[in-house]
Amino acid sequence: MQLACTVMAGDYTLFVEEDFQFIADVDLKELTDILDTERDLAQIALLRDPFYDYETDGVLEGLEVCRQRLEALGKHRVIEDRGDHIAQDLVHTTNPAVWRREAWLDGWPQQPDSERVKSTQLRQQGWKFGWMKTQTLLHTGQHEGTGY
The structure's pTM equals 0.88
- Domain span at residue 16 reads 2-49+79-139
Q: How far apart are CA 125 and CA 57, in angstroms?
A: 31
Within a domain: 43: yes
> Considering the domain boundaries, does residue 65 fall inside one?
no
How high is the pLDDT of residue 138? 92
Q: Is residue 128 part of a domain?
A: yes
Angle in degrees, CA 42, 123, 108, rounded to 5: 70
Sign (positive or negative) of CA dihedral 66, 85, 18, 99: negative
Q: 82-106: per-residue pLDDT in tens?
A: 999 999 999 899 889 999 999 988 9
Question: In this structure, is residue 72 part of a structural domain?
Answer: no
Q: Residue 35: which CATH number?
A: 3.90.550.10
Q: What is d(CA 93, CA 86) in angstroms, rounded to the nearest whole number?
A: 13
pLDDT at 4: 83
Asked if pLDDT for residue 144 goes beyond 60, the answer is: no
CA distance 119 to 64: 17
Q: Check residue 54 and give its pLDDT.
A: 83
Q: Is 69 part of any domain?
A: no
Residue 57 lies in a domain: no
Residue 146 has pLDDT above 90, yes or no: no
- Residue 61 domain-assigned? no
Whether 31 is covered by a domain: the verdict is: yes
| Residue 116 three-state SS | helix
Distance CA 48, CA 132 (A): 10
Query: Could you tell me the pLDDT band of residue 145, with boundaries at 50, 70 and 90?
Result: low
Number of domains in the chain: 1
Q: What is the pLDDT of residue 130?
A: 97
